[in-house]
Each structure stands twice: as structure tokens, then as C-alpha cells.
Structure 1
Amino acid sequence: MFADVEESQIAKMMDEKDSVSTQRTVKRSVNLFRSFLIEKRGSGEFEGLSKQELNENLRLFYVSIRKKTGTNLKVNSLNNIKYGLSKYLKGTCKIDIQGPEFNDSNEVYKAALTDMKKKGFGFVDHKPAISSEDLKKLYNSESIVFNVDTPWGLQNKVWFDIKFYLCRRGGENLRRMTKETFVIKTDATGREYVFQAIDEVDKNHGSNAAPNETIGEERMYAQPHLESMCPVNSFRKYLSKLHMKLDALWQRPVEAFSEESTAWYCSSPLGKNTLACLMSEISKKAKLSRIYTNHSIRATAITALDQHVEAEIMEIEARHIMHATEERKESSIRCSECLLDQPKEREMSHYFSSSLGTVCRNPTQTHMDQENSCASLKQEHLDAVFNDSTFDEFSSSSSSQQQEAKDEERPPQVLYRCGEEYFMHQVSSTTSPPYQIPLIGTPPELPRPISEGSAEGASQSFISTSSNSAQESISGKTHAYQREQPPSPPIVQQQVILDLTNTVIKCETEPIHAPSNPKDIANEPKVSAKCKIFEISKFLRMQIQDKTLIHVRRSNVLSDVLKIYQRNPEIVQRDFNVCFEEHSRDNDVCHVPLSPHALFVQFWREAFAHFFAGNQESVPIIDVSIDPDFYKTLGQILYHGLILLDYWPVKLSQACACVMILNTCSDRQLLTSLHRTMSDQERFVITEAKREIRSGCSEFSMQTTKSLYQVLRLYGNTQRPRPGNLEKLLLQMSNFYLKQKSYWALYEMRSGLQSFISDFLSHLEEQDVFSFYSLLTPNALSLFEKTIYMFSATDNSIHEMEEKRVKMYFENFVMKLNCETLSTLLVKWCYSDCLCMEHLYVRFLANSISERPHFDPNETTLTLSSVYTSQEELHQLMMSELES
């Protein structure tokens, strides 16, 4: 079934696909360029000009444009003008002014920007955040502008709450909002919240946004102790007072009203201009210190989050703030990994409230404070990190005045961190007799640490003082609780030295004193949390034996590697180099040993191609023709790559990895992995179906129903998809396809993964697997964090400036690469297709111009010339190198 569509409708849709501000920018840019051409050439027509003529005119246009007053434009204004021209020419004339034919004009454009910055026209006039004093004025119980007992005050407060808690942009879509845009729901803990229920197009989420780049995931949680000033209660009251016959959310307040009236608002919506200037009107009525704009509310929300993050009283990462504020410039940061979980959503809403001064100060009055209270730190929580039969437990008392938790710096189950200094680590703790602890294995030829005395005895309770991770998650109210306690007794610092040659602990003690107040604790250096899986692999790596050399035929990598691990299981305890040359093994002259990375990457590429299925993520295939020990061998190879190199094939479905490692997986991760397993076309079908659901349909269209049948049956679905059951079906399919169908393969892989140390992954959680994948999955920003640039000149000369320009070209190139191409880049750069390398190097070759990039994976180094004529030139050379 198809609708009748006229050309006029298509034309209208094409005209409206861009936002109003974008259309305004394009129109203004074109008019300015026409005016320039009329003044210089006598004719404003430029659509018929050749690329060469257009290039010449653009060169002059960029440097000659001025304001009506004759002064320079700001840098942002010139950027917007060029953007508008580029969009118009690309859409109307099919001309890309970023192409190589326009190198001259683009160089002049860059020079013009530099000149503007030198003259002071590069600054950006950011909208100020609302000061804390002005926020207190607004939310004061005697405030007129937020008086919820009047139509005007109630509307002002609800409008401000929604924009603040949900990080809404200035004036976007306010006029289009309806009574159904926001909905009140209850989360798993029983707390009410308001969230955006209807998707919309905004500045950062247009037609080119990915399906998982959704908006409306922020939540405004209830603050019951505030009663009528609670944001959820205010919103509920506002909805009950709206005019029944008008669907618009923002309606004009009536002039005369009664408290008992069911309608405080007219059947007339507020105008777009009124809504756009509402914060300015509120500023005037409340007599704030300055006139704020709608954008100031969002700036205040971001500032509030940032301040709490800097104070380290909230464990919210930058990716959570980016997702809440609908920013995309941090490359989305791994689409499905940016999703906010309920604790983070409650936490963010809580700190918004604290910034407004509306959070209850009594720890017993709010759910959030109960979660952060001292009483919630149970003994078993602190003991869990050391719960392993191999080691004796070091437990900490919950009544201790130090309020300290498990040390994130050391691997789970391990009482020390393995380092290069004779595998010793100093641990501070309360005094106890020296204690003898058996260790797993003894690395050969380790120097004996110099230490005096060892004895046997019974262990007392220990409290690690090297970690602040749990303490940071406790709110300021915990510090108040600590101040009420009696002074802490002196603590004796115990230096625990682990001598692996004798497998005993030898102790030296000296008295130290606890911090006198919480400020001293806060000023102590913080220990950054690390991935637990990496810490475990780091510990196990010290037991790896000497290197060996293995030969593999490049044409038979998969079968040769499987035979090596099946015939020589002990190889997982050895380091190795690999030689791909086909020659006699006794002919040492011909050996060309390569890093194990090269072998693992090639092996897993072939394994995924033959025994797994999927798109961005892959799932093992169950087939009767596959050797029963095949998947167990895969698990052993996974183990070897992990402990040897921190290598893991991130194309393996993250949900499958959770099932394999943890024997469980959350519904959210199952749905995310199912989405990434599907092909682009299959994902498009699901996205279109969800779009129809948001439109309020009771049944899918015939075409959508047919497409859903074709897609869902591939993943085990047996029911008819309907708008009311699609989410349930997707969850059932993800359980079947990722857990049940591939269960025996994952079971065997788990068996192989733990065939040497049976419980080395037993204390991990799903968040640990998530962090593990986040750190290894190739993305531009993580790659830049590992990259070290080695400039040939460091004297602020023109040569250093040119090399820094090349650095910018290179980073721009990397930012445009997708995950698959980034993996190819890494293989060229360091043999590995994931981010398991500690550092990557970019070296600049002095006095070289436009030479081909050179990769040296043995040194993890990329060599670039000191000068490239343009971004496009470096891009072409890099792509040519990657495709070779």
C-alpha cells in the first residue's frame, strides 16, 4: 500500500529538512556573496561560474567582507558564512568548495581567520550561567516568579525545571511541545520522575543522526520533601490546570482565577517569541543581578554537573554529561556505551537539585542520601574484593573512622600490585602481626628484596589506606558524620613486602597519624580506577615463561594456530614470536619474527569469517560439523592473548563476552549487542518500526509488517510483531540469539578461558566487561590519548608550526574514520586491531615535504613529513597507505 505523493509535498519536505537557523544562515551567506559579486563584477549570478572562477572570487570575498560599520567580522561569523555557501553550492550546483580545486581560497580563508584572531575578533560570547545567588532568589519560598499557587508562577517554575533538569536548549521546539511530550513514570526503586516521551528533531539530532543517538533520556526526579515545590509535583499540578481543549503544553495564563478552578490557562498557546524571551522576563520580574537568556539555563545545568564532578562527589563521566546535554562533538563516544543507567540518572537529577539548593539536608529524608549514608557501607561489600580461596581475606571494619574501601589500583583477589620493582608493593594498614600467604607460582630468577624479619601469626583486620574510591562516592554528609565521632587513635603504617622467592610477607612498621579533618582526606592524591580485567592480566603476566618461536603458514593461519594450541596446551604459559615465512624451521637465517599481535589479529579475522556471524559484533555459530574441542581452543587463545598482550577481539559480541565470563547478561546489553549484530538494512527496518510506534499507530503499516517478518524470523521470532509487543519481542530474540542459540559455544569458550586458572574471572561484574570493551574498542579520542608526537623541531620556529599543522591534519583525518578503518590503521601502526598498546608514536621527518606516511609496527611508530600542502593531500596519502 502506498500513499499518493505530489512533487510539491516532496519539495516542501526538502525545504524543511534543515532547521530554521540553518536556512537563515544559508540565505544570508548567499545574499552576501551575491552583493559582493554585484559590487565587483556587476552581476550577482555565480551558479554558472566555473570552479576556477569561483575559487578566485571566494579568495577575495573571504578577506574583503566587513560589517556595515566597516569593522571586521568575528571568526564564528566568517565560519558560518562559509558553511552557508558550502551547503548551498553543494546542494544546488553540486560543487564542493572543500575540494582540491579550491585549495587557494581555503588557504586564504585560513589566513583570514588567523588575522582576525590576532586582531581580537576570535573570542566567543558565551551565555553566562545563572549565579547561585540568583538561583536562590528564584527558588526562595517567598519568590513571586515561582509561586506555584498562581498560574504565571506555576508555569514559570515548570518551564524552568524542565529546561534545567533535562538540559533543554535555548528555544528549540518549545512551541511544538504538547501535553504528551513529557510523562511521569516510576523507576525500579519506586521514585517518580519526569522524562521526555516523544522524540523530536533538534540542532544535534537531525536526519543524519544515528538510531541510538536519541534524545530525551534525561530524568527529572521527585524531591518529596519539597512538597509543592517538588519538580514532579509542580509538573503534575501544571498538567491538571491546563485547558482541556488545547493540546499545547505552554498555554496563556488566565487573568482571573480561583484556586479550585480546573483551568488556569486559556485555549491559546504562548507565542514563539514569548517563549524565546521567557527567561529574560523572569530575570526582570525577580530582579536578578543581570538579564539572563534561555541559553543560560542550560549553561547552568552543565556548570552544576561539572562542579560536582570536579569536587569528586559524583561519579559521572564526561560521556554521561555529553549524553545528557545532547552534545555530539565527542564523537558520540561508542554509541551504545553512552546510554545512562538509572543510578546515573538519579545521581545527575540529585545534583541538579543540590545546585538549586533544594536538596533535603537530613540524610534520612531522601532516597539518594540513604544510598550515600555511612550505614550503607556493609562489611561484606569491602570484603568482596578479597573473596578468594587462594588468598587469606584482609577485611576492613565498617565501624572504622577512615571510611575507606577496596583499592581499585590492584586486581581483584590480589593483595598487592605487581610492579617492575622486584614485584613489590607497599601497603599501608593498621598494625597486625606478620602473616604468611601462599602465592600462585613463583616467577623464575626474581631478585630477593632486602627486608628484615618474618614470622607466623594470626591476622587481624586490615584497612587499606591507598584507596579513596568508595570514600569519593560518599556525600558530604558522611564527612559531617565523621566529625561527630571521637578522635581516631594513631595508626601504625605497615610496609608489607612480598618476597615471591619465599612466598612470605615481611613487615616493618612506623607510627603515623590519621588526618585531623576531612579536608586532609580530600587533599590526598586520588587513585584512578582501572579496568579490573587488565589488572588481572597484568598479575598473571608475571608467570609467563621465556619466549619461543612458532611457524605459521600465512595461507593457513586458522588451521595452523588451532593445531599448535591443541597439540601444545602449555603454550598459553609462554611468550612467543611468530614467523610467517614458509621455509625450513632449521634455517635460522630466513626467520622474520613478528609480534604475537600479528598472529592474533589474523587468526581472529579468519575465525570470525568462518565460525561467527554478525555485523559490528559477531556471535559464534553452532554447527554439527565443528569439532567439539574447537570452541574450547578458542577460549584458550582468548586467554593467551589477554594475559600476554591485553589483546581481545572486540568484534566478539559484548553480550556474548558477558555470558562467557559472567554467565549472565543484562537486558540492556543484550538489546545493544543485538542491534550491533544486525546488518544496516535490518537495523533500518527496526528503526522505521519504532518511528511508527512514536507516531501513535495501533498497527504497523503493511510494508513495515512484511519487513519485520523477514528480519525478526532470522533471529528466532515466531510471533506477529505489533507496536505493543515489539520491545518484548526484541528482548526475547536477543536472549535466544545471543544466549540460548550460542550457549554451548560460549560454554566451551568459557571452559577454555578458565582451563588454567579456574576462577580468575569469578569476581567480575558486567560493568567490568563494559569498561574493558570501552578501553579496547578503537575510537579517535581514545587513540589520541595514547598518541605521543615527536616533533623534529621544538624551538617555536616555522618548522615546528608546520609540524603542528600536520598534526592537526592527521587528527582531522583520524576523526573521520569509522571503527573498521580505525582498526586497519592500528594494524598498520602496531599490528593490533584494538587499543591494547600503551603508547603509539607519531614522528615527524625533518626537512621532508609531502612524502608517503611510513608505518613501523615493531616500534609502534608512524612517520610523517614535516610539511603537507593541505588536509586533502595527507588524507589521500594516508588512505592510499591503508589500502595497500
Structure 2
Amino acid sequence: MEESRFGILSEEQLQSIINNKVCLNTKAVVKTATKILKTYLNERDLGDIDDLVNVSSEQLNLCLRKFYAELRKVDGTKYARKSMVTIRNGLQQHFIKTRSEDIISEDRFNTSSALFKAVLVQLKKAGVGETKSKEPIVIEDMEKLYESAAFSVDTSEGLQNKTLFEYLYYFCNRGRENLREVQKSDFCIAVDPSKREYVSVINKQTKNHRGYDIHNKDHKQSRMYDRPGDSRCPVASFKKYLSKLHSSNPNFWQRPKRKYSDDEDTWYENSALGKNTLYSIMSRVSEDYTLSKRYTNYCVRATSITVLDHKGVEARHIIGVSGHKSETYIKLYSSHLSEDKKRQMSDILSDNVPPPPPPAKRSARCEQFEPLR
């Protein structure tokens, strides 16, 4: 029998493809949201979340309407607006899968959606859990990082810190997304027509750009170029870090060795760096080297976007690096004023304030006599 050119997949395999479309972060959101709704239903003696699969759309709408209004955290306080949106999005995914209904977009859920929006307005007025954008790293702290042992290329930890920082900075990556899954094979070192060497990242699926989005095939176009003659050259330290990794381990973020010699070929263990350690590197460095504030890995991305915006790079070009779908997201970073800009604006306003009058001059005749005693 002639072998078919086409594969043969079972229904389970087809379903597996659909399930794998959803990223791990989304799965976690769905799990958390359904757990919260299940707890609410049990406490109100309204049955179980599985019972909602068979109720009418009208009943589900009424249930969600009441749920949005009465939703609280474990300690009884209200959720932040962003958390409310996340929970609702998780439930949306759940009901699309279990009922083939969209509780956000479909008209049959208009009343629960209206109540949800009203709750968000209340939370905003009350100032509950107002989200703050990640602050960019100030220039003074940047200098401290590069001048201290935090980014020393002569130690396994310092070299890894610098490589991580510059990976987030030049490629404008989020603090956690896909960070743990980065492999040594995900990078390309090349030379452009001007003979400048650079490092680029092979495009991977991200939060904003799923594999089925054919219009964003090359959504991340960032490159990290060399700086010939500069002791802080990011490409030079990247290549050194790559050369010191354990050859048998494909992971890019490996656990630093505690004991090694400077001339040793391998500075890192044959094991991946733990998630918690990897995700908290900037927080730990902030404390260890007494930076002005406690930064997170995501603050590095905020720094990258803010610097590009303040230097006049157009938003349409910035999103080519950041991977945002729309230029409107850049405004969230653009609205953050740097310390230098705040001082500059204050000085401009101060210059417009009339100066005080000069002190009155005393006559020469009066100055000849000593005051009466």
C-alpha cells in the first residue's frame, strides 16, 4: 500500500493542538478565575461551576451579574480593576470552551457586562488597587550597575546579570515571558553590510503575537550591536557568556558555579537557573547594590521603551522592537517623566518667576557713623 502524504490524527490529537494554542499564562488565568467562581457558588449555595454548563444563557448572565458585584478577595477587600479584568477574561475562556459562548462580546450578556463596567468605575473612583506603570531605571542607577561588581564580566554571576539585563534592554522583552524557555540556539550572531557585528533573537511566540497571527511574522526586529573599543560592549559580554555556558545543557540561563577558575572553560552548572531566581535577578541586584529603588526585570523593558521615546524615536518604530500591537501602548511609557525632565521643567517654571528686588542700598553718609548705643 502506497504511503499517504497526509498525516492521520485522532480526535484527541486534534483537541491537543487546540489546547496547546493557549499559552501557559492564559491557562493559569483560567484556572484561577474558575476556582474563584467555584468558591463563590459554593458559599452562596448556588451549586458547582460545572452546573453552569447546562443552565440557560439568561441564568448564566444573572449569575455573572451578581458575581461581579459581590466579588471579593480572601480577606474581604475588593480586587483591583486590573485583577477584575483578568478574572473576567479567564471566565470568558472557560465558557467559550465549555459552552461555546463569549460572556464579554455576545449581546445576551449585556446586563452582566454593564454591571461589570459599573463596578470598574466604582473601583476607579475609590482608587482601589490603582496600577502603577513600571518605572524606568534612572541614569544614576544605570551607572552604579555598570561601575560595580553587579555587571562584572570577570565573575559568573556578574556576567550573567549583565547578559540578562542587556537581553531585556536591547530586545525589549518582558520580565518573565518566555524567559525561562530561552535556549542557546535562539540567538543569531551576524555582521551587517556596514561590518558591524550584532546579535538577534529568533522570533518566538509571545503574549501579543501568537503563531496564527500571519500579519506579525516578523514582529520583533530588534538587534543588539557591538560597540568596538568599549569595555562595556554588549556583544562582547554576550559572546563571553555564551562561551562559558555548559556545553551539554541547551538552556541559555544556567546556574552559576560557586567555584571555578578564571581560565576555566565552563563557569556554569549543567542545570537551568530556577524560575524564581531568574525572575527576581533585578530585584536582588537592586538590594545588593543599594540602588535608589527596587527594580524588577520588567523595569528594564520600561527603561528601553522610555529611552527610545525620549530620544525621539517614532512610536511606529518602537513597536517594531517592543512587539506591541498598537502605538497607543507606547503612550503608557511616554507619560512617565524622567528625573532629569522633572528638574528641567521645574527650572523652566522657576525662571518665569520674577526675581526678588535687590536689597536697598544704604547711603555712604549713613555708613560713616556708628549706630547709637
Structures share fold, TM-score greater than 0.5: yes
Match of 1:195 among 196, 200, 219: 200
Structure 1 residue 168: deviation in Å?
1.0
1:689-768 correspondence to structure 2 within 5 Å: none
CA contact (8 A) 1:155 1:238 kept: yes
CA deviations over 1:584-631 (Å, ceiling 9, x no partner): xxxxxxxxxxxxxxxxxxxxxxxxxxxxxxxxxxxxxxxxxxxxxxxx
Structure 1: how far apart are the matches of 2:13 and 2:181? 21
Q: RMSD in angstroms over aligned alpha carbons?
A: 2.2
Superposed CA deviations along residues 611-654 of structure 1, whole A, max 9, x for unmatched, are xxxxxxxxxxxxxxxxxxxxxxxxxxxxxxxxxxxxxxxxxxxx
1:261 aligns with 2:264: yes
User: Matched residues in 2 for 1:286 and 1:297: separation?
Assistant: 16
| Aligned mate of 2:54, from 17, 24, 48 | 48
- Counterpart selection for 1:295 from 293, 298, 302: 298
> Structure 1, residues 470-493: CA drift from partner, whole Å, max 9, x if none?
xxxxxxxxxxxxxxxxxxxxxxxx
Identity %: 40
Partner of 2:188: 183
State the partner residue of 2:333: none
Which residue is 2:365 aligned to? none
Pairing 1:359-374 to 2, within 5 Å after superposition: none
Q: Distance in 2 between matches of 1:263 and 1:215?
A: 34
d(CA) in 2 for partners of 1:213, 1:114: 37
Structure 2 contact 209–216 (Cα < 8 Å) conserved: no
In structure 2, distance between residues paired with 1:256 and 1:39: 55
Asked whether the 8 Å contact 2:220–2:322 carries over to 1, the reply is no
* Structure 1 position 200, deviation (Å): 1.2
Q: Which residue of 1 aligns with 2:169?
A: 164
Matched, 1:282 2:289: no
Q: Secondary structure at the match of 1:153?
A: helix
Deviations 1:486-543 (A, max 9, x none): xxxxxxxxxxxxxxxxxxxxxxxxxxxxxxxxx9xxxxxxxxxxxxxxxxxxxxxxxx
* CA distance in 1 between partners of 2:328 and 2:79 (Å): 30
Q: Which residue of 1 aligns with 2:118?
A: 111
Q: What is residue 150 of structure 1 aligned with on the other side?
A: 155
Amino acid at match of 1:207: G
Residue in 2 aligned with 1:317? 314
Instruction: For 1:128, give the aligned amino acid.
Output: E
- In the aligned structure 2, how far is the partner of 1:262 from the partner of 1:215? 36
Mapped contact 2:244–2:266 kept (Cα < 8 A): yes
Displacement of 1:331 after TM fit? 8.4
Q: How many angstroms does 1:189 deviate by?
A: 1.1
Output the amino acid matched with 1:226.
D
Contact 1:195 1:216 in 2 (8 A): no
Report Cα offsets for 1:652-710 as digits up to 9, x if no partner. xxxxxxxxxxxxxxxxxxxxxxxxxxxxxxxxxxxxxxxxxxxxxxxxxxxxxxxxxxx
Q: Which residue of 1 aligns with 2:22?
A: 18
Q: Provide the rounded CA distance (Å) in 2 between the counterparts of 1:116 and 1:208.
A: 36
| Cα distance in structure 2, aligned partners of 1:216 and 1:259 | 36
Distance 1:266 1:4, change over 3 A: farther
- Are 2:225 and 2:234, in contact at CA under 8 Å, matched by a contact in 1? yes
User: After superposition, where does 1:430-579 map in structure 2 within 5 Å?
Assistant: none
1:618-633 to 2 correspondence within 5 Å? none
- CA-to-partner distance for each residue in 1:796-833, whole Å, 9 max, x for gaps? xxxxxxxxxxxxxxxxxxxxxxxxxxxxxxxxxxxxxx
Shift of 1:2: 3.4
C-alpha contact 1:26 1:85 (8 A) present in aligned 2: yes
Please give the alpha-carbon distance, in whole angstroms, between the structure 2 residues aligned to 1:255 and 1:76.
41
Letter in 2 for 1:170: G
After TM superposition, the structure 1 = structure 2 runs for residues 799-878 of structure 1, keeping only pairs within 5 Å, are: none
Deviation at 1:213, TM superposition (A): 4.0
Which amino acid counterpart does residue 152 of structure 1 have in structure 2?
E
Counterparts of 1:214 and 1:62 in 2: how far apart (Å)?
39
1:251 touches 1:266 (CA, 8 Å); kept in 2? yes
Residue identity matched to 1:326:
G
Per-residue CA distance 1:724-773 (angstroms, 9 max, x = gap): xxxxxxxxxxxxxxxxxxxxxxxxxxxxxxxxxxxxxxxxxxxxxxxxxx
Change (3 A) 1:108 1:99: same
Q: Which of 28, 31, 35 pairs up with 1:31?
A: 35
Superposition misfits of 4+ residues, deviation over 6 angstroms = none
State whether residues 223 and 231 of structure 1, in contact with CA within 8 Å, keep that contact through their aligned partners in structure 2.
yes
Instruction: Look up the SS of the partner of 2:38 in the other structure.
Output: helix
Letter in 2 for 1:221: Y
C-alpha distance in 1 between matches for 2:29 and 2:97? 14
Letter in 2 for 1:91: K
Residue of structure 2 equivalent to 1:96: 102
Q: Which amino acid aligns with 2:214?
A: A
Aligned partner of residue 46 in structure 1, secondary structure? helix
Secondary structure (helix, strand or coil) at the match of 2:151 reads: coil
> Shift in Å at residue 48 of structure 1?
0.8
Q: In 2, distance between residues paired with 1:59 and 1:216?
A: 40
Q: 1:132 aligns with which of 139, 147, 158?
A: 139
Task: Name the counterpart of 1:78.
Answer: 84
Q: CA contact under 8 A between 2:79 and 2:129: conserved in structure 1?
A: no
Contact 2:188 2:199 in 1 (8 A): yes
Q: Distance in 2 between matches of 1:212 and 1:12?
A: 24
Which residue does the alignment assign to 2:324?
Answer: 327
Q: Is the 8 A contact 1:204 1:328 kept in 2?
A: yes
Q: Quote the Cα distance in structure 1 between the aligned partners of 2:37 and 2:194.
A: 59
Q: Which amino acid aligns with 1:31?
A: K
Greater per-residue helix proportion: 2
5+ residue gaps in structure 1?
310-315, 333-354, 356-518, 520-884
How far 1:231 sits from its partner (Å)? Answer: 0.4
Separation in structure 1 between the aligned mates of residue 79 and residue 13 of structure 2, nearest angstrom: 38
Alignment partner of 1:226: what SS? coil
Per-residue deviation at 1:109? 1.4
For 1:74 and 1:203, locate their aligned partners in 2 and report how far apart those are by CA, in whole Å.
Answer: 22
Larger radius of gyration: 1
CA distance in structure 2 between the aligned counterparts of 1:258 and 1:216, rounded to whole angstroms: 38
Give the distance between the partners of 2:129 and 2:239, measured in 1 at CA: 45
Distance in 1, Cα, partners of 2:46 & 2:324: 44
The one-character-per-residue Cα deviations of 1:550-588 (angstroms, maximum 9, x if unpaired) are: xxxxxxxxxxxxxxxxxxxxxxxxxxxxxxxxxxxxxxx
Against the structure 1 CA distance between its residues 195 and 144, is the aligned structure 2 distance closer, same or farther, given a 3 Å change threshold?
Answer: same
Match of 1:242 in 2: 245
Which residue identity lines up with residue 93 of structure 1 in the other structure?
Answer: R
CA distance in 1, matches of 2:79, 2:170: 36
Shift of 1:47: 0.9
Letter paired with 1:112? V
Aligned equivalents of 1:240 and 1:49: distance in 2?
Answer: 60
AA aligned to 1:161 is E
Inter-partner Cα distance in structure 2 for 1:211 and 1:194: 24
Contact 1:59 1:104 in 2 (8 A): yes
> Structure 1's 16 and 273: CA in aligned 2 closer, same or farther, altered over 3 A?
farther
Cα-to-partner distance string for 1:165-189 (whole Å, 9 max, x where unaligned): 1101111212221222112111111
Between the aligned partners of 1:118 and 1:63, the Cα distance in structure 2 is 15
How far off is 1:261 after superposition?
1.6
1:204/1:327 contact within 8 Å kept: yes
Aligned amino acid, residue 327 of structure 1: H
Partner deviation per Cα, 1:366-418 (whole Å, 9 max, x = no partner): xxxxxxxxxxxxxxxxxxxxxxxxxxxxxxxxxxxxxxxxxxxxxxxxxxxxx
Determine the C-alpha separation between the residues in 1 that align with 2:18 and 2:80: 31
CA shift, 1:7, in A, is 4.4
| Equivalent pair of 1:205/1:214 in contact (CA under 8 Å) | no
> Could you tell me whether the CA contact under 8 Å between 1:163 and 1:298 is conserved in 2?
yes
SS at match of 2:250: coil
How far apart in 2 are the matches of 1:122 and 1:275? 27
> What is the aligned partner in structure 2 of residue 205 from structure 1?
209
How many pairs were matched up? Answer: 325
Deviation at 1:4, TM superposition (A): 4.9
Q: Secondary structure at the match of 1:195?
A: strand
Displacement of 1:53 after TM fit? 0.7
Secondary structure, aligned partner of 1:225: coil
